Amino acid sequence: MRIIRSTFGLGWQMIVSEFLQFHHLLLLLKLHMHNIMKNGSEGSIMRELC
């Protein structure tokens, strides 16, 4: 029983750390988009995407 619990604990830690890393990437992406909009160059990017 103890072995199962410890492996589950390790898996849970990995899931949490991966989620935190993903959340950090999302925050960086939001900041990047905000800076682009603040610079007023979002029009050119929208033209490139479309």
pLDDT at 9: 77
Q: For 2-37, how does the pLDDT look when each residue is reduced to its tens digit (9 = 90+)? A: 666 676 777 888 889 999 999 999 999 999 888 877
**CA-CA distance, 15 to 44, in Å (whole number)?**
38
**For residues 36 and 42, is the Cβ–Cβ distance under 8 A?**
yes
Least Cα distance to 49 among 31, 30, 36, 35 occurs for: 36
pLDDT at 21: 92
**CA-CA distance, 47 to 25, in Å (whole number)?**
25
Residue 50 has pLDDT above 60, yes or no: no
pLDDT at 1: 54
Q: What is the pTM of this model?
A: 0.47
